[in-house]
Amino acid sequence: MALLVQVLITGLAAGAVYGLIAVGIALLYRLTGVVHLAIGELVGLSVFVALAVIGGAGPVTGAASAGSFLVSLGVAAAVAVAAGLITYLLAVRPFLARGWALGWIGGLLALAFAIRGFIQASFTRASYVFPDPIGFDRLGDGGVIRLGGGVTVQARSFAILAAAALLSALAVWVLLRTEVGRGLQAIAGDRLAAEALGLPVERMVAGAFAGVGVFAVVAALVQAPAAPISADTGALLGLKALVAAMLAGFGSPWRVLGAGLVLGVLEAAVASAGFLGPAFRDVIPLALVLVALFVRPSRGEAAWRS
C-alpha cells in the first residue's frame, strides 16, 4: 500500500510531463499530419539555454534565486518560439508543400541530430544539475518527504503535479475557450474549409509550432531540477511523449494526457520492483507499448486517419 502511494506520486509526476508534451504533439499532428519527431531535442535545447542563463556552462551548485529562474524561463521561452518557427519553416513546410512525408521525417530528424550535436559540443560534462529556484531541498529531509512505512517521495513531485494540473487547465482553456483555440480546431477539422472562412491558416500553424514548443519547455523546466540533465534528457522526454501520444491514437487532449500518466506510473512501478533493477525502467514499458500498438493498431488508426 505504502509502496503503491510512492509509485503513484512519482509516476504521475513524471507522466504528467510526458502527457503535457504529448498533448502538443497530438495537436500538431491534427493540424498538419506531422509527427513532431524533434520536439524532445528542441526542449533539451531550451533547457540547456536556461541553464546557461542561470549559471553559465560551468559546474553549477546550490539554488538559484527565483529572479534568475524567471529570467531563464523567459529566455528559454524565446528560444522555444524561435526554434519552433524555424522547425516549421525549414524542416516541415517545404516538405508538406510537396506532399513528401519521408522528407519531413528526415528534416525533423536531421534537425534533432544537429541540436543534439550542438548541446554535446557546448556542454561537455556528462551531466548537469539544474539549480532549484524554489528550494525544495529545505523541505523534509533534503527535499525528500517520508510518508511513513518506508515510503519516500520527492517534495518536488507535488509541485510538478500541481504545475501539470495548471498547465493542462491552461491548455484546455486555450483550445476550447479562446478564439485562437477554436480557429486551431477548425483547421484540424477541415483545413480547406478553414482557409475558405478566411482564417490565416499558415500563420496559425506556424504559431502552433512555436506555442507547443513553449508549452513543452515550461513543462520540462518545472521538472528539470528533479534529476541530473544531459544531452540525452530532451531526446528521452520527446520519445516518451511520442509514445504516449501514439498510445492515445493522437486523440483528445484528455486521452493523451491520460496515456502520459499511465506511461509514467508504469515506469515508476517497474523501477520500484527491486528484483528487476533500474535498467529495466525504460525497456519494459516501451516493449509493452510497442506490443500493444502492433497487436491492435486499429484503435489508434481510426484517429490517425481523421
Partner 1 sequence: MAIVRQVRAALAGAAADAARAWDRWAWAWLGAFAVAALAPLFAGDERGLAAGACLVLAAAGLRIAVGLAGMASLAQGAFMAVGAFTAAHLLRGGWDLAGATLAAAALAGAAGLAVGAGAARLRGPFVALGTWVAAWLAAFALSAFPAISGGAQGLVLPAPFVGVPGGGGLAVTPAGLYEIALILAAAVLLVTRALERGAPGLALAAIREGPDAAETLGVRAARMRLGALVASAAVGGLAGALLVQAQGLADASAFGPLRSVELFVAVLIGGAGVTVGPVLGSAVLAAIPLVADLLGGAAGVDPVRFEPAVASVLLLGALLVGPAGIAGLLGLRGRRSVPAEPSGAPGPPGDARLVARGVAKSFGGVHALAGVDLALATGEIHALVGPNGSGKSTLLAILSGALAPDRGSVELGGSDVTDAGPAELVRRGLVRTLQPTTVFADLDPLAHAGTGTVALRRAGGAIRAALATPKARAETREMRGRAAEALGVVGVPAEDLPAARLDGKLQRLLMIATALSAGPRLLLLDEPTAGMSPAGSAELAETLRDLRGRGIGILLVAHDLALVRAVADRVTVLHAGTVLAAGAPEAVARDPAVVEAYLGG
Among 145, 161, 199, 293, contact with partner 1 (rule: CB under 8 A): 293
Smallest separation (angstroms) from partner 1 to the CB of 141:
31
Among 12, 64, 111, 187, contact with partner 1 (rule: CB under 8 A): 111
Non-local (6+) Cβ contacts of 287 within 8 A are none
89 near partner 1 (CB under 8 A): no
Among 91, 163, 188, 256, contact with partner 1 (rule: CB under 8 A): 91
Q: Chain centroid to CA 238: how far?
A: 6
Q: How far apart (Å, rounded) are the C-alpha atoms in residues 214 and 224?
A: 15
Smallest separation (angstroms) from partner 1 to the CB of 126:
12
Taking residue 207's Cβ as centre, other Cβ atoms within 10 Å add up to: 18
Among 2, 66, 101, 196, contact with partner 1 (rule: CB under 8 A): 101
286 near partner 1 (CB under 8 A): yes
203 near partner 1 (CB under 8 A): no
Site for partner 1, rule CB under 8 A: 33-35, 37, 90-91, 94-95, 98, 100-103, 105-107, 109-118, 121-122, 235, 239, 242-243, 246, 277, 279-280, 282-283, 286-287, 289-290, 293-295, 297, 300-301, 304-305
